[in-house]
Homo-oligomer: A and B are copies of this chain.
């Protein structure tokens, strides 16, 4: 039997199979605080609760393609924004009862968005809301992550997330923290030009702790990923800071 003959005779529908979805943790900053974009579920199951934007994965699209599609269709991003956003696979969740309708395996993605893109998405997509995250430093292992409505200034009533989305969210924070120091994801949350103070604010917001200023500046500048633009920030009532661009060097310093 040749391989071609085998493939022709093969019956792909022999076994029942789980459904496959992608769910996106859309992380950004709102007034310097880490935030996630959520949709309020209108329908069962879990109607009225908050969920990560997601979608079923079609037979004609890869997992990554499906994630980008969600970015466009459910999160209101322009194709150019969706293509430029930092998007990485997070983890795949496959508990038996994670969805009461049927067996669903979901591939979770983490997307990092600059503050301006978050604002624009919120304005263009009515169903979308930003939730502010409370991420105190709770050790390397992380802790539960609480999400609050943007209006809830006192942070008294944490939002109730649908399905296992709270677990996915907690893992996203962990991933973000873990990669912050040795990758370039911190820059994905910032605009094209930014000050070192803004960069440090991002780090402090994600890590949930304050950092030493001179040491932080040294580390960042010594990596060689920052190119001064020559311009300075505007609109301050004090000395304006220098603006930098992120520019990954071709020569990555390797261990000897």
> B-contacting residues of A (Cβ < 8 Å)?
1-3, 6-7, 10, 12, 15-20, 43-45, 47, 56-64, 89, 91-92, 94-96, 100-103, 105, 107, 137, 139-140, 209, 252, 254-255
A3 with B254, Cβ < 8 A, contacts A18-B57, A19-B12, A63-B105 known: no
Nearest residue (CB) in B for A60 is B96
Give chain B nearest CB distance to A33 CB in angstroms: 21
How far apart sit A100 and B6, CA to CA, in the bound complex (Å)?
Answer: 10
Smallest CB–CB gap between A30 and chain B, Å?
26
State the number of copies, please: 2
Having A10-B101, A10-B102, A63-B92, one finds 15 other A-B pairs with CB under 8 Å, namely A6-B43, A12-B102, A15-B58, A17-B59, A18-B20, A18-B57, A20-B94, A57-B105, A59-B103, A60-B96, A62-B94, A62-B96, A64-B94, A139-B252, A139-B255
State the CA gap A95–B64 with chains docked (Å). Answer: 9
Q: Which residues of B contact A137 (CB under 8 A)?
A: 255
**Which one of A6, A62, A94, A102 has the greatest number of beta carbons of chain B within 10 Å?**
A94
Cβ contacts under 8 Å, A103 to chain B = 59
Residues in B whose Cβ lies below 8 Å from that of A60: 96
30 A-B pairs with C-beta separation under 8 A: A3-B47, A6-B45, A7-B44, A7-B100, A10-B101, A10-B102, A12-B101, A15-B58, A16-B59, A17-B18, A17-B19, A17-B57, A18-B57, A20-B20, A20-B94, A20-B105, A57-B94, A57-B105, A61-B96, A62-B94, A62-B95, A62-B96, A63-B92, A63-B94, A89-B91, A89-B92, A94-B107, A137-B255, A139-B252, A140-B254
